Every structure is written in structure tokens, then in C-alpha cells.
């Protein structure tokens, strides 16, 4: 999957992989930092002390900062051990590129300083596929938030999750590093704006039913998204 051309109001499925397949986060604190980066890097304004400004993970924004001006709209995300998936909307020219640069540079800088290493922790530039219609958007949202999370299911991965969907669903919505819980229940973080997905999936049940149909029916080819 390469970066396809897109413009303002385009929806784009973005994937960024770790160099040589290595992990891009090492522990829970770094996974949580990734979530905070999705919020704090998605802004025209940048403060080098953003991490200390955030009080106890509450996504606090100091009153001394200017009004927030997001670079992109984040509809969905899932952090995997050695890569991450994002569903983004381009809301200003060059917004996705600027956001991805800030996000990945911060992750690399933090990793290198913490572990006394050099070089990017990522494999090349990000890859992106432009989403051309609502039906494709439905499938991509389930792919990002359900298929990928279910691959981490401790009772057999995706195959086990397919055979035990209900149990896997309950396990999956507790996975902290995906936006699945935003669509599956009332859990909310200020990272997400559902945008068109909120119109497509008007209730948690509607998203769950669609996800079940996709997972149990195997209605996608992985090659379409990778």
C-alpha cells in the first residue's frame, strides 16, 4: 500500500510500520504516550513541554495555549506491537503529512533518548490508501478497529476470535490502545471525531453487527489493505 493522491475532505487509511519489524513501543507507558501523542500532535500549535502539561492523562490543555487547531480529523486508530493504523480525514492542505511527521518524529526522538539509540524507529515513510466510497469506509473501519485488535486476542488470535466472537468482542473493547471502545460503548477520549462513521454507525449495536458479519464471513482480503 503506497500513499495515493488525495485532497481536502479525503478519508485516508494510514499505516506506519516499525523498522525491520521491531516493536515501536516497549511497555504500557509508551503505549499510553502514543494515545497522548494522537491528541497533542494533532494541533498547529506545539509546546515542547506538552507531556508535563498533561495532568494524569486527562488530555489537559493549559489556558496559556492558543485555541486548538487540529491538523487532521482522526476517525479511528489501533496501535499494534510493531505498527499502527489510523483512519484520517484531510481537513487542511498537507494536514496528514504534517501530523504524521510530528507524531513519528516525537516517537523516534523519545525512543532514541530513552534507549540511547539513533535513527528512525520506523520503516520508511507512512503508507496511505484513499477511501473512495462509504462502503469501503465501513470495511476499513472494521479492519482497523476489529480485525487488528482481534489478532491480539489471547485465545487464538483472529481465528479464535472468529470462533468466539462474543468473548473476543468483550475482550477487544477493553483493549486500551484502539478506538474500538468509542464505537462499541460510551467510552470517549478527545482524540476521536467520528465524522461520517458516526452517521454510518448510529449505534454501538449497528457497528457490532457489521463487525460480526465481516469477521465471521471473512469478507475481505488482507491484501486490499496492506
CATH of 11-128, one of 3.30.70.1290, 3.40.50.20, 3.40.50.300, 3.90.110.10: 3.30.70.1290
Average of per-residue pLDDT across 143-162: 96
Cell of 38: 494522537
Over the range 106-122, which residues count as b (16 or more CB within 10 Å of their CB) and which as e? bbbebbeeeeeeeeebb
Task: Give the whole-angstrom CA distance, residue 9 versus residue 89.
Answer: 6
Average of per-residue pLDDT across 71-78: 98
The whole-number pLDDT of residue 43 equals: 97
Average of per-residue pLDDT across 211-225: 71
Cell of 82: 510493531
Q: With 70 as the cut, is the pLDDT of residue 226 above it?
A: no
Task: Give the whole-angstrom CA distance, residue 182 versus residue 188.
Answer: 6
Question: In the beta sheet, which residues pair with residue 13?
Answer: 87, 129
> How confident is residue 171, by pLDDT bands cut at 50, 70 and 90?
very high
Cell of 179: 478506538
> How confident is residue 178, by pLDDT bands cut at 50, 70 and 90?
very high
Is 10:129 a contact under the CB 8 Å cutoff?
no
- Residue ranges of domains in the chain: 11-128, 133-224
pLDDT one-digit tens code per residue, 33-70: 999 999 999 999 999 888 877 666 678 888 899 999 99
Q: Which residue has better confidence, 218 or 47?
A: 47
Cell of 132: 473512495
Q: Which residue has better confidence, 62 or 9?
A: 9
Please state, as a whole number, how many other Cβ atoms lie within 10 Å of the Cβ of residue 184. 22
> How confident is residue 221, by pLDDT bands cut at 50, 70 and 90?
very low
Mean pLDDT of the chain: 91
The whole-number pLDDT of residue 223 equals: 39
Amino acid at each position: 500500500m503506497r500513499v495515493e493522491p488525495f485532497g481536502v475532505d479525503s478519508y485516508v487509511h494510514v499505516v506506519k510500520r516499525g523498522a525491520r519489524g521491531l516493536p515501536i513501543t516497549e511497555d504500557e507507558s509508551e503505549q499510553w504516550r502514543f494515545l497522548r501523542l494522537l491528541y497533542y500532535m494533532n494541533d498547529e500549535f506545539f509546546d515542547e513541554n506538552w507531556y508535563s502539561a498533561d495532568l494524569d492523562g486527562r488530555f489537559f490543555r493549559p489556558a496559556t495555549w492558543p485555541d486548538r487547531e487540529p491538523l487532521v480529523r482522526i476517525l479511528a486508530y489501533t496501535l499494534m506491537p510493531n505498527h499502527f493504523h489510523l483512519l484520517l480525514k484531510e481537513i487542511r492542505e498537507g494536514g496528514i503529512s504534517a501530523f504524521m511527521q510530528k507524531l513519528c518524529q516525537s516517537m523516534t526522538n523519545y525512543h532514541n533518548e530513552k534507549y540511547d539509540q539513533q535513527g528512525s524507529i520506523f520503516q520508511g515513510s507512512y503508507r496511505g490508501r484513499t477511501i473512495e466510497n462509504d462502503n469501503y469506509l465501513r470495511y476499513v473501519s472494521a479492519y482497523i478497529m476489529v480485525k487488528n485488535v482481534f489478532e491480539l486476542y489471547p485465545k487464538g488470535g483472529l481465528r479464535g476470535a472468529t470462533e468466539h466472537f462474543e468473548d473476543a468482542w468483550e475482550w477487544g473493547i477493553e483493549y486500551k490502545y484502539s478506538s474500538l471502545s468509542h464505537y462499541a460503548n460510551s467510552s470517549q477520549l478527545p482524540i476521536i471525531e467520528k465524522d461520517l462513521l458516526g452517521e454510518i454507525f448510529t449505534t454501538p449495536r449497528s457497528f457490532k453487527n457489521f463487525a460480526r458479519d465481516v469477521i465471521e464471513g471473512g469478507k475481505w482480503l488482507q491484501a486490499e489493505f496492506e
